[in-house]
Chain A
Amino acid sequence: MNNIIVCIKQVPDPHLISKIKIDEEGRIDRRGILGVLNPLDKNALEEALKIKERFGGEITVLSMGPPQAIEVCRDALAFGADESILICDRCLSGSDTLATSYVLACAISKIKFEIVLCGNETIDSGTGQVPPQLAEFLCIPHITGVRKIEFLDESTVEAESKMESNIRIVRARVPVLIGVAKGINDPHIPSAYDIMNAFKKEIIQLDIKDIGADADRVGSLGSPTYVERVIPMEQKREGLISGDLDEVAMEAVNRLKRFL
């Protein structure tokens, strides 16, 4: 095993995500909202550790993000990654999934790898499009929604891909991309020692020139999709009742009973 690649993303803290304010142009006010490692990415990292334990190799983590995303690159090192890379460049801003997948592919194609692991989706945009699109740009097969990976040998993988109430059993040869889903494993919690050590390692920072990406295929320039507007969700009901708890409970149950 040469390299096990894990792609990660910094996302708003899920506990605070409903409090994020967005202006009319779709610009997000992330002030006061901490950035954290996308939850499923932890599962991806944990899976990478399991593979390394069995077959050796190096875990290389990549993230495309703004300068503060360096924090999750650091988290990945504490998690057990051998190398952590942040792809950061002003012109990457406004990238949709197509542009993001292209950028990640440019960086990854310079590395010799057998497997790429990603969280199946992120908690912010949640499109789930990057894993399949990244695989396409890398010209490798992909399996998404994976709840179990089994390596039959060092170059053959059998995975359980969850699709609604069915499970697809897929066999694939490396190099392959896997989008991991919840329940695939139980990510460990890095110790204080791991975290301290992570600060001693260097995080590699690359810009678009370093990865050899075309300027017109990244950022808003390279993104066919864009947010035109942000509108509040249609409010179809507005039924706040107040008053004494007994009265309120009675009113609520009376209304409920009409439907039972």
Chain B
Amino acid sequence: MREVWTFAEEREGVIRETSLELLSCGREIAEKLNCDLATVLLTGNGKEYEKLISRGSDKVYLAEDSCLKLYQSDIYADIVANLAVRYKPEVFLFSHMGVGADLAASVAARLKTGLSSHVFKLDVDKKGLRCYVPGFGGNVFVIRSQTKPQMATIMRGSYKKAKKIDGREGEIIPVEFGAYKVVKSRIFERSETLKVVKEKESEPLESSDVVVGVGLGACEEEIFKLAEELATLLGASMGGSRPAVDEGFIEERFLIGQSGKIISPKIHIALGISGSTQYMMGVQNSEFILAINKDRDAQIFKFCDIGIVGDLIDVLPRLIDEICEG
């Protein structure tokens, strides 16, 4: 039976939510291709594989060893690539998170197969996968690959978490780790992850109901102060586009967009944002988007619920007054 594979990641011994989103994506593709869905899991120990089966995997390829607890780029790539060579999946999907993106690229190089990155929508036809990825100029690129396995990294939030189905059964295929025990020390001499440390939490963007996004057009001291005032008034978190981060107005950890945070607040207010595809990827799931930009032709006006063409220095005080009056 042909298979569609997903790669599952754990964080502190628990399967990550994005890996469950990936199962939805994998299931959709598996149905269309008339394949089974299987998941590859490398773990320190634990029964997390049960979660994968209950949420849709027909099979889990399980490699278990204490040295696999943390992401080890060489050993992980070795195990995963060897599995793919041995069992020849049709499709192999990873989450586009730090580990997934890095590992997928290494594995694709080892397999000499194509990899589509940052996919937000996946479809399949006779020729294979159709990968929709954000491109510049407010466009979407449809990427194809001519080799197997067809590989892609899927952006977080593109699919909903797969639902749990009680009593679902699946197969566990243990990955033989014996050979690795022998070469482990040699591999770790080359490169080894020593530990993983938690960083400052920047969850506020993802958990806020209202998010103000600052773009290049708002990167001016006076305007930025007004933006902060607006954010405070609305109890909003503030983030920004890549240019705003580069200009130093917004910290890197508050970057919104394809290579930053993907958010889905009730309200998103985009100030001086051009509306690039990369940025829109980050905010397209917002319930309501208000955009202000002085460029009438800015892309953002195609993607907002209310768009105001005007100078932020004039519009913001007016908005602030209006909110205060209400």
List residues of chain B with CB within 8 A of the CB of A238.
Answer: 301-302
Cβ A141 vs Cβ B191 within 8 A: yes
A5 in contact (CB, < 8 A): no
Smallest CB gap from A133: residue in B: B109
Cβ A162 vs Cβ B309 within 8 A: no
Cβ A98 vs Cβ B99 within 8 A: no
* A220 and B117 alpha carbons, distance in the complex (Å): 18
Q: Is the interface of B mostly helix, strand, loop or mixed?
A: mixed
Cβ B197 vs Cβ A225 within 8 A: no
Cβ A183 vs Cβ B194 within 8 A: no
> Which of B23-31, B138-146, B165-173 interfaces with chain A?
B138-146
Cβ A168 vs Cβ B193 within 8 A: yes
A182 in contact (CB, < 8 A): yes
Cβ B267 vs Cβ A260 within 8 A: yes
Cβ A223 vs Cβ B114 within 8 A: yes
A58 in contact (CB, < 8 A): no
Smallest CB gap from B291: residue in A: A239
Tell me which of B118, B141, B252 has the highest count of chain A C-beta atoms within 10 A of its own C-beta: B141
Cβ A165 vs Cβ B306 within 8 A: no
Kindly supply a per-residue 1/0 record for chain A positions 142-169, scoring 1 wherever the CB is within 8 Å of any chain B CB and 0 otherwise.
1111000000000000100111111111
Kindly supply a per-residue 1/0 record for chain A positions 202-240, scoring 1 wherever the CB is within 8 Å of any chain B CB and 0 otherwise.
000000000000000000000111111111111111111
Cβ A22 vs Cβ B201 within 8 A: no
> Which of A11-19, A61-69, A84-92, A188-196 interfaces with chain B?
A11-19
Q: Which of the residues B192, B202, B284, B290 comes within 8 Å of A170, measured between beta carbons?
A: B192
> Which of A48-56, A74-82, A108-116, A245-253 interfaces with chain B?
A245-253
A180 to chain B, nearest CB (A): 13
Cβ A136 vs Cβ B310 within 8 A: no
Cβ A98 vs Cβ B117 within 8 A: no
Cβ B319 vs Cβ A249 within 8 A: yes
Cβ A253 vs Cβ B326 within 8 A: yes
Cβ A128 vs Cβ B101 within 8 A: yes
B176 in contact (CB, < 8 A): no
> Which of B32-40, B85-93, B275-283 interfaces with chain A?
B275-283
* Interchain residue pairs with CB less than 8 A apart (24): A96-B114, A97-B115, A98-B115, A129-B105, A158-B194, A163-B99, A163-B196, A167-B196, A168-B70, A171-B194, A172-B191, A183-B252, A229-B141, A233-B302, A236-B303, A237-B304, A249-B315, A252-B322, A255-B288, A257-B326, A258-B288, A259-B267, A260-B210, A260-B267
Identify the A interface with B (CB < 8 A).
Answer: 12, 14-15, 17-22, 26, 39, 96-98, 101, 121, 123-124, 126-129, 131-133, 135-137, 141-145, 158, 161-173, 176, 182-183, 223-242, 245-246, 248-253, 255-260
- 4 A-B pairs closest in CB distance: A163-B98, A224-B114, A141-B191, A136-B109
